[in-house]
Amino acid sequence: MFKSHIFRAVVENFIVAVLAYLLGYYFTAMFHWGTAEIGGLWAVISGVFVMSDRESLTAEAARMRIRASFIGCLISGVYLYFFPFEVVGFALCIAIGVFLCHIFRIPDHIKTTSITISVVVIVSVLVSDISPVENAVLRFAESVIGSLTALAVAIAGVYIFRLKKTENK
CB atoms within 10 A of CB 165: 10
Mean pLDDT to the nearest integer, 127-151? 97
Give percent above pLDDT 70 in the chain: 94
C-alpha angle 51-5-60 in degrees, rounded to nearest 5 = 25
Say what the pLDDT of residue 127 is: 96
Q: Between 168 and 47, where is the model more confident?
A: 47
Nearest-angstrom CA–CA distance, 20 and 31:
17
Contacts with 147 (C-beta within 8 Å, 6 or more apart), sequence order? 46, 47, 50, 61, 62, 65, 66
Say what the pLDDT of residue 1 is: 46
Q: Binning pLDDT at 50, 70 and 90, where does residue 100 land?
A: very high
User: Where are the strands (E) in the chain, listed by range?
Assistant: none
Segment 38-76, tens digit of pLDDT: 999 999 999 999 999 888 899 999 999 999 999 999 999
Nearest-angstrom CA–CA distance, 74 and 117:
9
Q: Binning pLDDT at 50, 70 and 90, where does residue 166 land?
A: low
Say what the pLDDT of residue 150 is: 97
Nearest-angstrom CA–CA distance, 42 and 123:
11
Question: What's the Cα-to-Cα distance from 54 to each of 4, 154, 156, rounded to whole Å?
Answer: 14, 8, 12
pLDDT > 60? residue 81: yes
User: What pTM value is reported for the model?
Assistant: 0.91
Q: Binning pLDDT at 50, 70 and 90, where does residue 2 land?
A: low
